Structure 1
């Protein structure tokens, strides 16, 4: 059979609506208020392991802030070199665990001048403020605001989110397929939702139902490694 070439579909737009909160309801509530300007002049620090949605939340805040007629920018920390880049009403800095010395200085200067400006800064990293390899005065300032640990979803929460997304697309119940994807295809919701989208296109192109062997074939074409060695669908 001729191999069908596919690319992993882009994940859904990073909005508050597309974020599956799980136990992160308080963080989501605070971020919504900050985006709308209800909590201006606040620094918020989000931390947690890869795949929990830190970047999603930063983009969602920026999108919501712009919709609320506020100036807002997303910046990847390694690209932060000057406080001149931090002139918007809301700044979202991602990957703060990779800040350069210049980036640390830029954040330090923002805190020193932000009082009369009523701006907001959101910072995300893979570790808590205290664990950052940064200057003491920068770490203390980042820890002085609101700090949220972004908690991962349980497998059951991910499974429910996958079911809801598939149902919204008009797909039939695919419980066995979704359980397989949870084990064999990564753990972050962005990847899992992208795989459902890609699987839908793939099965339509082949005019075949989404069976486990077909899912395994798709993962091979996408070069997504199987973390459970020797466990293939039959």
Structure 2
């Protein structure tokens, strides 16, 4: 069978509205409250968990709540201020990757924000603060506020999320298609949503209904190679 390669449509901006909450309601509520202007909140919010749990999505959602985007180039710095004209926050993604100089910079930024009313530091990592291999003083600061261990969505919740996304595009997602995706595709929600968007595009281009045979025809190795079988 000929394999067709399609470009994945640009993903929607990560927002609180399109985050699939699952068991992470408390973390989402705290972040949404902290994103409101003139809100007195904890100085440090730390999110950690396995890849695909949504921590980076929530970090971007927090930034977008101020009409600002977490830029791609920030990946090189790993932390940056977000200023909405009233409050300057600091966002730090994947803190376990920070080199020594960046760790010192983030530590200083956290201390500076401690002096500013309503300023918040939101950071993410792959493990709890006490288990980070960072400068001890930085690990201590990151664990000084609210710490949330984000939970991966269950397969049932992922199916619900896929069905909701499909419905938002005017699609009815068949059970066999959703089940195949969860068995064979990359299991993080960004990849699953991307495949579904590409499948919708392919369906429109070919004039065919979204079915399992159609999905198998357009399957791209780079999206399916890391799925569980």
Would you call these one fold, judging by a TM-score over 0.5?
Answer: yes
C-alpha root-mean-square deviation of aligned residues, in Å?
A: 2.4
Q: For 1:61-90, what per-residue CA distance to the aligned partner results, in whole angstroms no more than 9, with x for missing partners?
A: 001123xxxx78668465158xxx548411
State the partner residue of 2:45.
Answer: 44
State the partner residue of 2:95.
Answer: 96
Unpaired stretches in structure 1, ≥5 consecutive residues: 230-234
| Count of residue pairs the alignment pairs up | 222
Q: CA deviation at 1:153?
A: 0.6
Deviating more after overlay: 160-169 vs 108-117: 108-117
TM-score by length of 1: 0.85
State the partner residue of 2:147.
Answer: 147
Q: Does the 8 Å CA contact 2:55/2:150 hold for their aligned counterparts?
A: yes
Change (3 A) 1:3 1:185: closer
Q: Does the 8 Å CA contact 1:24/1:150 hold for their aligned counterparts?
A: yes
Q: CA deviation at 1:39?
A: 3.5
Q: Does the 8 Å CA contact 2:15/2:64 hold for their aligned counterparts?
A: yes
Q: CA deviation at 1:217?
A: 2.2
User: Aligned partners of 1:207, 1:50: CA distance in 2, in Å?
Assistant: 36
State the partner residue of 2:202.
Answer: 202
Q: Does the 8 Å CA contact 2:82/2:91 hold for their aligned counterparts?
A: no
User: Aligned partners of 1:200, 1:72: CA distance in 2, in Å?
Assistant: 27
Change (3 A) 1:39 1:155: farther
User: Aligned partners of 2:5, 2:186: CA distance in 1, in Å?
Assistant: 21
Q: CA deviation at 1:111?
A: 3.0
User: Aligned partners of 2:172, 2:218: CA distance in 1, in Å?
Assistant: 18
Q: CA deviation at 1:156?
A: 0.2
Q: Does the 8 Å CA contact 1:41/1:114 hold for their aligned counterparts?
A: no
User: Aligned partners of 1:215, 1:226: CA distance in 2, in Å?
Assistant: 17
Q: Does the 8 Å CA contact 1:72/1:90 hold for their aligned counterparts?
A: no
Q: CA deviation at 1:215?
A: 1.0
Change (3 A) 1:56 1:223: closer
Q: CA deviation at 1:2?
A: 7.3
Q: Does the 8 Å CA contact 2:9/2:194 hold for their aligned counterparts?
A: yes
Q: Does the 8 Å CA contact 1:8/1:222 hold for their aligned counterparts?
A: no
Q: How does 1:1-234 map to 2 (within 5 A)?
A: 4-37=4-37, 38-40=39-41, 42-66=43-67, 76=74, 78-80=76-78, 86=81, 88=83, 89-118=88-117, 119-220=119-220, 224-225=224-225, 227=227
* Aligned-partner SS, 1:65: coil
Q: CA deviation at 1:41?
A: 5.5
Unpaired stretches in structure 2, ≥5 consecutive residues: none
State the partner residue of 1:232.
Answer: none
